Amino acid sequence: MKKFLILSLSAALCVTLAFADLQGTLRQVDDLHDLNQFDQCITTLQAGLPQATTDQQRAEIYWRLARAALNQGNDLEDADAPQAQILAKFEEGERYADQAIALNPNNHQGYFWKSSNMGRWGQIKGILNSLAKAAPMRTLLERALAVNPRHPDSFYVLGQLYRELPGWPISFGDAGISVSYGRMAVNLNQEEVQQGSSSLSYDFQLELAKSLYARNWNAAKRTSEQRRMKTTFDRASATLERGANFEGSITIPSKPDRDEARDLVNGVISRLQAIGARSINQNNDLDKAREILADW
């Protein structure tokens, strides 16, 4: 009995140490991701697979592999790589995400990163393929939000989908819904910042600004439509319906959409310019904000 107890304690200690090693690996990968070191993310995650002892832990590795593959594909596009090479990278990202979903269907990240890789594949392939991928993307994001109704990134992507797609009868694009989803993403991100679980996403604010600029409602229409959305929001219980009418639940400035859009972009520029030592991503956000204003 004593020997059995010692063996049991030893096994438990090994599992605990393996879990601690995995947590360290995942933190290292997340840090590498923030530094845009995506090749190293892949290498580190693949080396860390033996540390994972449960399906849930393996899913944590595979959704991060899907995230890294997507960013590798983006880098290939920036480097003007052949289209086939870029598409293959996004297909690889989808396969990683599929593995994450199969290992743990209750982890929202697998659905989110599959949707993201799918969307980028469609963008590279062309407009008809983008349209064909839109509904499957939305379904995946709905599944992500069914698991985690407060996932800001899913609302962020939904906002872009509804802005960029044509409306009925061609697709499900809707300028009003795109703004509400964008506001939801910004709101949830700010909550995470206050909780200390995330950093501020300037890109969420920039994409909301683009949706506002595209919607282009005047101040009077904003007021009347917000009253309508509030009625729908108050009676809605489903996550997506509440998100689609989220603008009705908050206070918004008494000004036209495009004025608020410019204020958002100028605010991002001012805050980023005030940062002495900006990160790579912050510099990218600053460049993007300036480009948006130049286009307007």
What ranges do the domains of the chain cover?
25-148, 149-296
pLDDT attached to residue 19: 54
HSE-CB of 67 using CA atoms within 13 angstroms? 24
pLDDT tens profile 178-213: 999 999 999 999 999 999 999 999 999 999 999 999
In CATH, what class is 25-148?
Answer: mainly alpha
Burial 32-60 (b: 16+ CB within 10 A, else e): bbeebbbeebbebbeebeebbeeeebbbb
160 CB-near residues (< 8 Å, 6+ apart): 178, 207, 211
pLDDT digits (tens, 9 = 90+) for 127-183: 778 899 999 999 999 999 999 999 999 999 999 999 999 999 999 999 999 999 999
212-245 tens-digit pLDDT: 999 999 999 999 999 999 999 999 999 999 999 9
Q: What is the reported pLDDT for 18?
A: 54
Q: Provide mean pLDDT across the span 82-95.
A: 98
| The model's pTM | 0.91
